[in-house]
Amino acid sequence: MQKIKEKIILGIDPGTNVMGYGVILITGSTVKLLQFGVIHLSKYENHELKLKKIYERVSSIIDEFAPDHVALEAPFFGKNVQSMLKLGRAQGVAMAAALNRDIPITEYAPKKVKQSVTGNGNASKEQVAAMLKSILKFQDAPKLLDATDALAVALTHHYQGGNVQSSSKSWKAFLSDNPNRIK
């Protein structure tokens, strides 16, 4: 008898004031919500301390759930360069926590996440949360939608097959891993 493979995905919605996270368990074709929430960072007075807290909290979530993959929402491009730099640092620190434990990372654009979950790349955060409540069967949506955004990133990774190739991989490695895609 063949054992059904289980996979745990940690989704992260990076932020410098509030960072969302969501953890799902995939068993065969079944998706189960394990945990989701936010990391409050606005109470820390400087950016360096916020980065330290992001690293510590993401590391503790990784230690608790031992995810097989980490999926992050890529920052959208805004006009405020300083905000973009801070957001990029927050994302980098979350990535470092996963890389420190040899967990593969995949990034998804915000429109891709919304499209995967709702079918509409321009869906609102509230629409994403409502769809997730239906798919993952939870009752109370959190007040801060960063948590459901992170869950949406994890679910997107599952929907994408959970094995999106990193651009850092060589063509030779890609072809070796995907012989059925050669014509």
| Catalytic-role residue among 48, 56, 73, 107 | 73
| Catalytic-role residue among 56, 102, 126, 146 | 146
Query: Could you report the per-residue pLDDT of 126-165, keeping only the tens digit for each?
Result: 999 999 999 998 887 667 799 999 999 999 999 998 544 4
Range of the domain at 84: 6-181
Position 114 in a domain: yes
146 has catalytic annotation: yes
Cβ contacts of residue 125 below 8 Å, gap of 6+?
145, 148, 149
Position 134 in a domain: yes
pTM of the model: 0.84
Position 91 in a domain: yes
Instruction: Please tell me the predicted confidence (pLDDT) of residue 44.
Output: 92
Compute the average pLDDT of residues 107-123.
93
Compute the average pLDDT of residues 166-177.
52
Strands 6-13 and 105-108, by their bridges, are: unpaired
| pLDDT level of residue 176 (50, 70, 90 thresholds) | low
73 has catalytic annotation: yes
- Cβ–Cβ < 8 Å for 68, 9: yes
How confident is the prediction for the chain on average, in pLDDT?
A: 87
Position 74 in a domain: yes
Query: Does position 54 have pLDDT exceeding 50, yes or no?
Result: yes
Number of domains in the chain: 1
E strands present in 52-170: 69-73, 105-108
140 has catalytic annotation: no
Find the CATH number of the domain harbouring 171.
Answer: 3.30.420.10
Position 1 in a domain: no
